[in-house]
Structure 1
Amino acid sequence: MFRTVTAAAILALATAGCTTTGEGGMSAGTDGAMVSPILTSPEAVDELTYARPQEARVTHVALDLALDFDAQRVGGIAVLDVLAAPNAREIVLDTNGLRIERVTDGAGRALAYEVGANVEEAGKGAPLTIQLDGARQVKIEYSAPANAAALQWLSPEQTRGGEHPFLFSQGQAILNRTWIPTQDSPGIRQTWEARITAPKPLDVVMSGVRQGEPVDVGNDRRAFTFVMDKPVPPYLIALAAGDIDFRAVGPRSGVWAEPSVLDRAAREVGDTEQMIAAAEKLYGDYRWGRYDMIVLPPSFPYGGMENPVMTFLTPTFIAGDRSNNGLVAHELAHSWSGNLVTNAVWGDGWLNEGVTSYFENRIVEEVYGKKRADQEAALSYANIIETLDEVGRDAPGTALHTDGSGELVGSAIAYDKGAYFMRTVERMVGRERFDAWLRQWFDSHALEPATSQMIFEDMRTNLARSPEEAERLMLREWIFEPGLPSNVVKPDPAAFAEVDAAVAAYASGGTVPKGYADWTSAEKQRFLDNIPKQRSAQQLAALDRALSLSRTGNNEELFLWLELALANRYQPVVPQAETFLAEVGRAKFVRPLFQVLWDQGEWGHPIATRIYAKTRPGYHAVTRSGVDRIVGRPGEG
């Protein structure tokens, strides 16, 4: 039940640490808007924000922005609703490169403000401190810089259609402060609305529900309006604009894409409604209304981004046989773990990604069967072992919970170790009991931030039947200690028995598996990732001829082939690698391929440098930052 309370009472509730009240700890403001709690326990303090939400916090963001494709800038007005303690004199926001032109209250009265010193470390940016003078609404006139890290502006030549420009945003983790002035922390949830104007004939989509049809506003432009009436972490405010069309794939789901991509995209995500039904069967109602997707141009740096009601997807997952659409299951699962219940700080990112990866696998099992689910889980386990072998079993970064200050060791910990934690506990307590617990976790903390300490305590209280069982589950070891606990439930060795035998046969005598063409994609990836790493040019040529590796339409498999070939300085594959790196901006593929080229010293350095000089302008800032650390920026050195 939601209830109307005074602003002071809301603030007291919203800063009440880990204690929650009512449904998910939510409350309602005097205008009826939902207000999420702010966690104040020490482990919930976000060091990547300048905000002081215990004093004054943003509860709602209203944007009125214009997209300028010529100048590659976004500008306009942000109106923020503020919930402040009675004695609060100022509110502190996060910005990074924004040009602030004017700040007023809701009535147009000028408010004093100051933009502090910029902190480049971790992209934290600069604080914007506004003197409230009693105001409970703040209006900021501003513009974002052309190089705003969250935004990628594509020329027509960088799109499939080649006729119109394209724009998309990527806010996670703290990039949205480069185009929206707000409190940019996952623990400060906010509702939002937006009016966006763009030149014809471009369409605009956002991670909110579109309100009616676009409106002609003159000057050959149209206005699009959106609303997100549920409080979300601000990194989930997302925008895309381009020459895109829509295709429904179910009564509450559909996909946007460039016209030349739309048919293939719609076929690839054709199982989405089955996935939604499977997810609801597992862990309760889908609470966001529609589940739409957009397949972005290839420069999108991630596989997918779980923006509510509008998942962003890379075109690299399109294989023609739905073999890679565990990606869709993953982003859908985020509608519960990540979007509904969100890590309060990024050091607890496994709460989003690990729980979601487990949930993804359960959806895959429901829709595609146990064999595929077991195989994909086995690939996940292999990622954990590979990472631990590389960095060490005691490396601090291999704990699920981190303080955010250590060296990241890749996705295998937050995603795969987190999933195997859930998988292990499920096997030990039984699926029925585990599913009931996880559903109550989502329900109890819906639209709230959460921490590792919270889920640890919740599992001890609501899942384990005794202190002794809690100890057997090794909850603390899994969450707070490095490495892999001894009670880990290992994958079924039968999942890849045929493939592992084929790997052994190839390793010992060069025997190429005859049934390779009929294998699942997971089986092909297992084979390519486990055959001997040192191959001669003759062996690589023979392998390619036998298995048609360079002609695969599955980018996951093609990446593994290119990585293997480049690691062996196989010159015939260089043109294909160059084409691949020019057409694909997904960091998961791009960074490792540049790394393997760079590792080849005198052979690889000039190839990597030449390719990167051509491809760098087309990559998103997320991808560029990773490759810059490997190759350096073109012209340097």
Structure 2
Amino acid sequence: MSFARTLFVSASFVAIAACSPKDSQPTEDTTVIVAEEAEYVEQDEMEFMVPGEEREVVWDALTPEEARDKFTYSNYNDARVTHLNLDLTVDFDTKTLFGTAEINFRKRTRGTATLILDTSKLDVSKVEAFTEGQWVETDFTMGPHDPVMGSKFEVSLPDRARKIRVTYRTSPEAEGIQWLSPEQTAGKEHPFLFTQFQALNARTMVPIQDTPAVRITYDARIRTPKDLLAVMSARQDVSGDLDGDYSFKMTRPIPSYLIALAVGDIKFKKINNHIGVYAEDYILDASAEEFEDTPKMEKAIADLYGPYRWGRYDLIVLPPSFPFGGMENPRLSFMTPTLIAGDKSLTNVVAHELAHSWSGNLVTNSNWRDAWLNEGFTSYVENRTMEALYGEGRAVMERLLDKQSLMRDVEAAARPELTALKMPADLGHPDDAFSQVSYAGGMFFLKFLEERFGRDRFDEFLRAYFNEFAFKSITTEDFLTFFEDNLWADQPDAVTEAEINEWIYQPGFPDSIEKPQSEAFNKVDAQINAWMGGGDVDGLETSAWTTHEWLYFIAQLPESLTPEQMAALDERFQLSTSQNAEIANAWYLRAINAGYEPAFEPLDAFLMRVGRGKFIYRLYAALIENGRRDWAEEVYDRARPGYHPIAQRRIDDIFAQ
């Protein structure tokens, strides 16, 4: 079979050719990882590391030009950042962070005289290089600001310099940092800040090679007002005192988008000895109860795919303006409060963010064109986790709902190339790669492979995959080569080259995609048919329905539903005022399409208090598409100050289009 191997040989040739001149020979790039966490002792298998063990990790090879990340200015093939040491003060009055970033790097090609980093609206006052035992000022240039890429930051490197120190201040308009006033928090007494760096926003807080192709370790010292707690995606200092001076250490190499910081009136509640929840006090107990199955999720994934390799796993429930369901920052997943439904019905998002500890954080896409390697693998592991904990019925329901979302995103794609797993070379913004194509589409591709090769054999393959590429950044073609050598070669007739090509590189999805069948949803269909056939709304038996059945029910309601029928449903089930954000969002979309007026007042309140992009982007778009632009603009004018800058940009684009 020549498919994947041909791609691999081609990539290797480009890498060798790129460093063939005498002055461009790659230097060895290594770092040492030390296992520190006692939790490793509890794992059944020790193929990775035990506490106290040291292991040298070789940094990734030079990146072939065709696989280079186009969303970075950095010269990471010539000089690669290896470690970051932050010393920053949080200034809520000016809405800025200020201090220094010490940046260790290694030259990868001889003769490299500059280090090029990514920045966005950073105010740099001084740059020093450490050479021959002392810090000396060095020249730098800051390029013009691009709305997507930020600015190219070029630092002159004295001979023998292997570290620079940048003194700077962030911008109050930094897209990756949201500053909330006390009035925007639940407690109303203290301000709050949190970061969101995926995909291009680490550069808004620190000068860095802001690309998933580059993995770094980091230390940080964060100074805050003394009555606030700082937490980061790293090992915390252990004093627990609110002293306004916090230290952090991340000893595993991670891509820059996984650096994360939150500061606020935050409390902590333990779930077990290495898992817990941070949150504002008003939602802390409910969050810990909602997420109490997280240890079971960790065990389920570890049993399938090998030990959890990050030490602690905590979650933080952020204010409602957080624009995502969750963000997989290592050791500390950021979560939306819209998951706190009271019945654990939305905890698949917890399973998803935890699963990223294997797919995404441990093995990372080196280019946003390959985002399915992060999100598709994670969605697959998430679904397997839900099956292990709650049964096949729930896993099938979630896959069926995901497939509906996938087909909707395929139909709505701006162009066909955005419906292939491998995103096009002219991808305009990484945001375009984060549709259900990468998430559900990638999951269904892996489900296809599972069916063809058998679940047991496929699980064995995935376990080997996570081990092989641990703490590395890879491309689709790297995966395909490993797949060919370690799975396909053993069962050459299980799939054809044409089938793999169709799944990875062709727009849309092939007929071989799974067609999930849910017995629970079949019963929902029967009830809908009985009601629409002349039955009474009181005849709908919903007492045992889960959130999934409600979402399916609302999605399957016919477009011909009359306002009277909408009102009957709303009166019986209080859908317009549902406290389950998923159900409320699905109902509002139907209400907008149907022009059901009683839903608009609670919709207004929903848009004012919820900043999760999954909900608000579609709601604003639906309002515009259904002739409610003026109403939507009036609501958005009031709601916009409370939305995250990322959400503001996305909704501004929706109105502009």
Preserved CA contact (<8 Å) 1:214 1:224: no
- Residue 473 (structure 1) shift: 8.4
Structure 1 residues 215 and 526: CA distance shift in structure 2, 3 A: closer
Q: 1:447 is matched with which residue: 451, 462, 471?
A: 471
Q: 1:415 is matched with which residue: 416, 439, 458?
A: 439
Alignment partner, residue 498 of structure 1 = 523
Q: Distance in 2 between matches of 1:181 and 1:588?
A: 30
Q: Distance in 2 between matches of 1:611 and 1:627?
A: 12
Preserved CA contact (<8 Å) 1:100 1:143: yes
Preserved CA contact (<8 Å) 1:24 1:445: no
Alignment partner, residue 11 of structure 1 = 27
Q: 2:351 is matched with which residue: 329, 343, 346?
A: 329
Alignment partner, residue 196 of structure 1 = 222
Q: Distance in 2 between matches of 1:196 and 1:482?
A: 46
Structure 1 SS opposite 2:244: strand
Alignment partner, residue 19 of structure 2 = none
Q: 1:384 is matched with which residue: 406, 416, 423?
A: 406
Alignment partner, residue 33 of structure 2 = none
Structure 1 residues 583 and 485: CA distance shift in structure 2, 3 A: same
CA displacement, residues 20-50 of structure 1 (integer Å, 9 cap, x when unaligned)? xxx9999xxxx98745314513442000001
Residue 72 in structure 1 maps to residue 95 in structure 2: yes
Alignment partner, residue 173 of structure 2 = 147
Alignment partner, residue 395 of structure 1 = 416
Q: Distance in 2 between matches of 1:534 and 1:118?
A: 50
Residue 405 in structure 1 maps to residue 426 in structure 2: yes
Structure 1 residues 25 and 114: CA distance shift in structure 2, 3 A: farther
Q: Distance in 2 between matches of 1:99 and 1:386?
A: 42
Q: Distance in 2 between matches of 1:586 and 1:165?
A: 20
- Give the AA of the match of 1:402: M
Q: 1:518 is matched with which residue: 544, 548, 553?
A: 544
- Residue 477 (structure 1) shift: 1.5
Alignment partner, residue 126 of structure 1 = 151
CA displacement, residues 584-629 of structure 1 (integer Å, 9 cap, x when unaligned)? 000111111111111222xx12211111110001101111112112
Preserved CA contact (<8 Å) 2:396 2:518: no
Structure 1 residues 147 and 421: CA distance shift in structure 2, 3 A: same
1:612-623 equivalences in 2 (<5 Å): 612-623=636-647
Q: Distance in 1 between matches of 2:104 and 2:284?
A: 39
Preserved CA contact (<8 Å) 1:303 1:317: yes
Q: Distance in 2 between matches of 1:35 and 1:211?
A: 28
- Residue 12 (structure 1) shift: 4.5
Structure 1 SS opposite 2:110: coil
Residue 277 in structure 1 maps to residue 304 in structure 2: no
Mean CA deviation greater in 481-490 or 418-427: 481-490
Q: Distance in 1 between matches of 2:292 and 2:498?
A: 38
- Give the AA of the match of 2:90: L
- Give the AA of the match of 1:199: P
Residue 547 in structure 1 maps to residue 573 in structure 2: yes
- Residue 112 (structure 1) shift: 1.1
- Residue 323 (structure 1) shift: 0.2
- Give the AA of the match of 2:494: E
Mean CA deviation greater in 510-519 or 73-82: 510-519
Preserved CA contact (<8 Å) 1:167 1:240: yes
- Give the AA of the match of 1:399: A
1:423-442 equivalences in 2 (<5 Å): 423-442=447-466
Alignment partner, residue 475 of structure 1 = 500
Preserved CA contact (<8 Å) 1:496 1:523: yes
- Residue 409 (structure 1) shift: 7.7
Q: Distance in 1 between matches of 2:444 and 2:116?
A: 39
CA displacement, residues 292-345 of structure 1 (integer Å, 9 cap, x when unaligned)? 000000000000000000000000011000000000000000000000000000
Percentage of pairs with the same residue: 40
Residue 374 in structure 1 maps to residue 396 in structure 2: yes
Residue 117 in structure 1 maps to residue 139 in structure 2: no
Q: Distance in 2 between matches of 1:79 and 1:499?
A: 59
- Residue 367 (structure 1) shift: 1.0
Mean CA deviation greater in 240-249 or 591-600: 591-600
Structure 1 residues 10 and 269: CA distance shift in structure 2, 3 A: farther
Q: Distance in 1 between matches of 2:548 and 2:638?
A: 32
Alignment partner, residue 60 of structure 1 = 83
Structure 2 SS opposite 1:456: helix
Preserved CA contact (<8 Å) 1:144 1:178: yes
- Give the AA of the match of 1:240: A
Structure 1 residues 624 and 38: CA distance shift in structure 2, 3 A: farther
- Structure 1 segments of 4+ aligned residues over 6 angstroms from their partners: 23-26
Q: 2:649 is matched with which residue: 619, 625, 635?
A: 625
1:282-361 equivalences in 2 (<5 Å): 282-361=304-383
Q: Which runs of 5+ in 1 are unaligned?
A: 1-7, 15-22
1:134-173 equivalences in 2 (<5 Å): 134=159, 135-173=161-199
Q: 2:119 is matched with which residue: 80, 95, 98?
A: 95
Preserved CA contact (<8 Å) 1:39 1:449: no
- Give the AA of the match of 2:615: F
CA displacement, residues 248-306 of structure 1 (integer Å, 9 cap, x when unaligned)? 11121000000011011111101011011101001000000000000000000000000
CA displacement, residues 405-437 of structure 1 (integer Å, 9 cap, x when unaligned)? 247386220001100001111011111000000
- Give the AA of the match of 1:312: F
Q: Distance in 1 between matches of 2:427 and 2:82?
A: 31
Using the size of structure 1 for normalisation, the TM-score is 0.91
Alignment partner, residue 265 of structure 1 = 287
Structure 1 residues 75 and 24: CA distance shift in structure 2, 3 A: farther
Q: Which runs of 5+ in 2 are unaligned?
A: 1-23, 31-45
Alignment partner, residue 3 of structure 1 = none
- Give the AA of the match of 1:361: N
Structure 1 SS opposite 2:118: strand
Structure 2 SS opposite 1:94: strand
- Residue 222 (structure 1) shift: 1.3
Mean CA deviation greater in 300-309 or 528-537: 528-537
Structure 1 residues 522 and 309: CA distance shift in structure 2, 3 A: same
Structure 1 SS opposite 2:213: coil
RMSD: 2.4
Using the size of structure 2 for normalisation, the TM-score is 0.88
Q: Distance in 2 between matches of 1:308 and 1:507?
A: 48
Q: Distance in 2 between matches of 1:416 and 1:181?
A: 34
Q: Distance in 1 between matches of 2:435 and 2:306?
A: 27
Alignment partner, residue 489 of structure 1 = 514
Q: Distance in 2 between matches of 1:459 and 1:233?
A: 24
Structure 1 residues 32 and 422: CA distance shift in structure 2, 3 A: closer
Q: Distance in 2 between matches of 1:141 and 1:44?
A: 32
Alignment partner, residue 634 of structure 2 = 610
- Give the AA of the match of 1:443: N
Q: Distance in 2 between matches of 1:24 and 1:271?
A: 26
Mean CA deviation greater in 374-383 or 274-283: 374-383
Q: Distance in 2 between matches of 1:521 and 1:303?
A: 16
Structure 1 residues 102 and 214: CA distance shift in structure 2, 3 A: farther
Alignment partner, residue 262 of structure 2 = 240
Alignment partner, residue 18 of structure 1 = none
Residue 509 in structure 1 maps to residue 534 in structure 2: yes
Q: 2:609 is matched with which residue: 583, 586, 598?
A: 583
Structure 2 SS opposite 1:101: strand
Preserved CA contact (<8 Å) 2:423 2:433: no
Q: Distance in 1 between matches of 2:26 and 2:228?
A: 41
Q: 2:620 is matched with which residue: 555, 579, 594?
A: 594
- Residue 191 (structure 1) shift: 0.4
- Give the AA of the match of 1:397: L
- Give the AA of the match of 1:116: G
CA displacement, residues 169-222 of structure 1 (integer Å, 9 cap, x when unaligned)? 000001110111010000100000100000021100000010232678xxxx61
- Give the AA of the match of 1:40: T
